Amino acid sequence: QLPKQVKIVEVGPRDGLQNEKEAVSAAVKIELVDRLSRAGFANIEAASFVSPKWVPQMATSAEVMAGIERRAGTLYSALTPNMQGFEAALAARADEVVIFGSASEAFSQRNINCSIAESIARFAPVAKAAKDHGLRLRGSISCAFGCPYQGEVPLDAVADVVKRMRDLGCDEIDIADTIGVATPRKTQAVMETAARAFALERISGHFHDTYGQALANIYASLELGVAIFHSSVSGLGGCPYAKGATGNVATEDVVYMLNGLGIETGIDLDLVVEAGAFISQQLGRKGASRAGNALLAK
Ligand code: HMG
Ligand code: MG
């Protein structure tokens, strides 16, 4: 039996836009976030307080957070790799901070310039500060299904990082397929592994659609009872430190599938499609959501 309700975390403004080469203005990002808020998302990843030298596109995060209209019932999340990021997220009034690690040593080094163990040590004060300030804390685990640098990632490595994130006090843990290589049975094996270390209802699936497997992997996760998924409007995105990684699974496609399955999301698909058309037009290209394009062509 599939979950009756699913929470979709819209990550387009962060994961989606972080990889864009051309600068996207803060005004456009603000309009995108506001359109997504109006579409009914309970959680939007709107900012990333990382080094602007590493990810220039996210340098406007404070401006974006200051400019958006906060919708009651929507949590606005920000990535915070260290205390410097946390202080910025706190000042920007983020509702949730995201510490982001990896199940792959090689990817940890490339993405955040330290080992997995060092990253956990850096996250510890962030986690404590989040609790002290009453902010929600989410832990994201990259390369849980495979790594662009080391290839295979053992299940034990995933289990180990899930436990470390749990012990830091994470309210939610994301199991991420950074490079979109997972297939459904593999997805279930990794999700089952994660669920042995952390409450299933607080585990989320973060699937990139590089190999066209994301919807199938979401369905496979639903079969196990996973009820939180990340997606990007219009399928925006990729990770600058995962070469060839394409966007997250498109939100429109996920909502369309969940609607068809009779699963409640609280999201207005038409408004998501409009938000997707808006950002695609701003970026000067056709959106990558199949459902979005089909609905726009109607
Ligand atoms: P570092 O160079 O090791 O850090 O970078 P450092 O502490 O030595 O600092 C070096 C410089 O960075 C200093 O500036 C700091 O002030 C500055 P300088 O003195 O040279 O002028 N700095 C910062 N500036 C702003 N905000 C900060 C911050 N921290 C240091 N928070 C660091 C370490 C983690 C900062 C760096 O490696 C970095 O920013 N990496 C970015 C990684 C990133 O954003 N990746 C994409 C997001 S993760 C993702 O997309 C995956 C996900 O979607 C899940 C999935 O799909 O897998 C979540
Ligand atoms: Mg990602």
Report the predicted TM-score, pTM, of the whole model to 2 decimal places.
0.97
pLDDT per position as a tens digit, 47-98: 999 999 999 999 999 999 999 999 999 999 999 999 999 999 999 999 999 9
Model confidence at 237, in pLDDT bands (50, 70, 90)?
A: confident
The mean per-residue pLDDT over the stretch 226-253 comes to: 88
- CA 176 – ligand 2 centroid, Å: 7
Rounded average pLDDT over 107-131 = 97
Question: What's the confidence (pLDDT) of residue 246?
Answer: 82
Give residue 241's pLDDT: 73
143 is catalytic: no
Q: For 207-234, what is the mean pLDDT?
A: 98
CB–CB of 126/169 below 8 Å? no
**CA 128–ligand 1 middle distance (angstroms):** 19
Q: What distance in Å separates the CA atoms of residue 136 and residue 158, rounded to the nearest whole number?
A: 22
Beta bridge partners of 48: 79
Ligand 1 atom nearest the C-alpha of 248 is 56
111 pocket-lining for ligand 1 (C-beta < 6 Å)? yes
Q: At what angle do helices 116-132 and 83-91 cross, to 10 degrees?
A: 30
Instruction: Say which residues have a Cβ less than 8 Å from residue 116's Cβ, sequence separation at least 6.
Output: 101, 102, 103, 105, 108, 161
